């Protein structure tokens, strides 16, 4: 019986007219490693979706027992054939299978229902919570908005991390790179930023998109669990292309993520998107390119590897009021080897982004977490959007820490230090301790303001360095309990007025007496 079905299929394939004018149909010539070579698709375009067609006869559909449509994406246009990456189970594609062109570029279905869900690269739910109704299909590849459609970054995006919000601020619509070696806390910085958005007013809270590329499924599951525990999944979408998925799916996942983000941006919403990480996406793209027989260049990457990331990150924007005023803020993550930021992929992404948050493994190993290297971290845009309250208290913090780092190195060799140098080192040590923050505990900006203000104005001058964190917690609790009006005023006005500064100084004097008496 089985041989009869196969013979029938072969006969139908042989008799099928590939030159039919009604539809542009081709046939699979060869398939392997997630790539299919197809002849006969004379009218397809670059990036177009093609359908591996099992609907021509019922017996074929039953023979492979596959009800879901299987698509591919055209990536190579050659003289006699096209090469297609398969977006699904490769085992269902075989030689002589019929393929239809669809006439549309690769798109993903999006609607408001996608918020709070975990989806794959094709925006199909993988969290077992049922189907997502599509409102619109967003193209995975598209041109970025032009200069006329954009406006300057003018609204802060608070990360809840003191060291970032004071010294490397991020604005909505910015692209800020998170770069560092393995196990230096890059993902932690990104996830804490998502969690911190719960402190924003609901009408100003950005939608968050976390794109996991080539990560272990266990790691992504832990992240989703943490977001659920913190109540952050209510405004977050997770796009998962784990290490077990094909290279094609990993390469396309960030584009699918930004397509989802654009749906909300075009509705006038602010969006925060995290690409974790683009180093793995570049490796996946290199794999796809080599399978497509594209000529390798430096480090075996194809010649258009820079364009891979530039056309992705340029889609982040702050739209003009005429376009609805929405924004996409991107936090791409890049992994370095032994802190080498001059390697091929890191230099590419550094040149595309508006600054970087550099994480240092030696600081991390010393217990300074987040391990932000102030000297190599910069924000080229965010200071224009920085909240005035934080700007006023943290203005001198970067210089203070930079001077401390130099003196710290000198201190190892010097025997006697003058009084002024000792004071500067003491204060530097206390500020470093003050900027430490536990994982999963981002701070609202008004709390950061009173914390940094106290540090810069010598509240912790006589406190032992190892008790700074404990004292800071007591200070914040004291302000929250006894002087909540200060926090409310900073939160509503977003600045530190003379009257509020006076109240803060009085509160500091009262707190000093309180801890001295104890």
Q: What is the set of active-site residues?
A: 380
Q: H helices within 197-331, ranges in order?
A: 217-229, 247-265, 278-291, 305-313
The answer to whether the CB of 169 falls within 8 A of the CB of 393 is no
DSSP string, 415-483: S---HHHHHHHHHHHHHHHHT---TT----HHHHHHHHHHHHTTTTTTS-GGGHHHHHHHHHHHHHHH-
Q: Identify the bridge partners of residue 272 per DSSP, sorted by sequence position.
A: 208, 329
CA–CA separation, 436 and 473 (whole Å): 12
CA–CA separation, 182 and 280 (whole Å): 12
DSSP string, 126-185: -SSS-----SEEEESS-PPP-GGGB----SB---S-HHHHHHS--BTT-B-EEEE-TTSS
Closest CA to 357 of 516, 174, 221: 174
Q: Identify the bridge partners of residue 180 per DSSP, sorted by sequence position.
A: 335, 359
CA atoms within 13 A on the CB side of 99: 37
Which helix (DSSP H) or strand (DSSP E) does residue 489 occupy?
Answer: helix 484-493
DSSP string, 317-348: -BB-GGGT--EEEEEEEEE-STT-TTSHHHHH
Helix (H, G, I), strand (E, B) or coil at 504: helix
The answer to whether the CB of 171 falls within 8 A of the CB of 155 is yes
What backbone phi and psi angles, to 5 degrees, belong to 180?
170, 170
Closest CA to 457 of 501, 500, 491: 501
């Amino acid at each position: 019986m089985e041989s009869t079905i196969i013979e029938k299929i072969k006969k139908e394939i042989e008799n099928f007219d590939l030159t039919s004018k009604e539809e542009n149909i081709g046939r699979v010539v060869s398939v392997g490693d997630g790539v299919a070579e197809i002849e006969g698709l004379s009218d397809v375009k670059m990036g177009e979706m093609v359908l591996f067609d099992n609907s021509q006869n019922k017996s074929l559909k039953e023979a492979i027992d596959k009800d879901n449509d299987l698509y591919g994406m055209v990536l190579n246009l050659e003289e006699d054939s096209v090469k297609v990456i398969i977006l699904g189970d490769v085992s269902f594609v075989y030689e002589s299978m019929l393929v239809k062109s669809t006439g549309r570029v690769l798109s993903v279905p999006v609607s408001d229902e996608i918020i709070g869900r975990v989806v794959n690269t094709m925006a199909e739910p993988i969290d077992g919570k049922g189907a997502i109704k599509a409102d619109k299909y967003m193209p995975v590849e598209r041109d970025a908005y032009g200069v006329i459609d954009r406006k300057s970054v003018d609204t802060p995006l608070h990360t809840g991390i003191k060291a970032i919000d004071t010294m490397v601020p991020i604005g909505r619509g910015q692209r800020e790179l998170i770069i560092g070696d393995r196990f230096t806390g890059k993902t932690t910085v990104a996830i804490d930023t998502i969690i911190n958005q719960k402190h924003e007013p609901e009408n100003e809270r950005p939608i968050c998109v976390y794109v996991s590329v080539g990560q272990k499924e266990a790691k992504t599951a832990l992240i989703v669990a943490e977001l659920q525990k913190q109540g952050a999944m209510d405004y977050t979408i997770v796009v998962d292309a784990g290490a077990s998925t094909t290279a094609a799916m990993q390469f396309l996942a960030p584009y699918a993520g930004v397509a989802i983000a654009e749906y909300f941006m075009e509705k006038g919403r602010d969006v925060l998107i995290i690409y974790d990480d683009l180093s793995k996406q570049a490796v996946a793209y290199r794999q796809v390119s080599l399978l497509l027989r594209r000529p390798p260049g430096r480090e075996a990457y194809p010649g258009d590897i820079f364009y891979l990331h530039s056309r992705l990150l340029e889609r982040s924007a702050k739209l003009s009021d005429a376009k609805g005023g929405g924004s996409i803020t991107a936090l791409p993550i890049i992994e370095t080897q032994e802190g080498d930021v001059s390697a091929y992929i890191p230099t590419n992404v550094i040149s595309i982004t508006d600054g970087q948050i550099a994480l240092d493994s030696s600081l991390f190993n010393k217990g300074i977490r987040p391990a932000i290297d102030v000297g190599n971290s910069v924000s080229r845009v965010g200071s224009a959007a920085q909240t005035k309250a934080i700007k006023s208290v943290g203005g001198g913090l970067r210089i203070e820490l930079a001077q401390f780092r130099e003196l710290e190195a000198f201190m190892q060799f010097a025997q006697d230090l003058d009084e002024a140098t000792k004071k500067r080192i003491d204060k530097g040590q206390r500020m470093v301790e003050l900027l430490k923050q536990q994982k999963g505990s981002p701070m609202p900006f008004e709390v950061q303001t009173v914390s940094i203000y106290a540090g810069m104005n010598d509240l912790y001058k006589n406190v032992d360095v190892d008790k700074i964190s404990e004292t800071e917690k007591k200070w914040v609790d004291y302000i929250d309990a006894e002087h909540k009006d200060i926090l409310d005023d900073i939160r509503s006005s977003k600045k530190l007025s003379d009257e509020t500064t006076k109240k803060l100084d009085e509160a500091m004097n009262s707190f000093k007496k309180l801890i001295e008496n104890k």
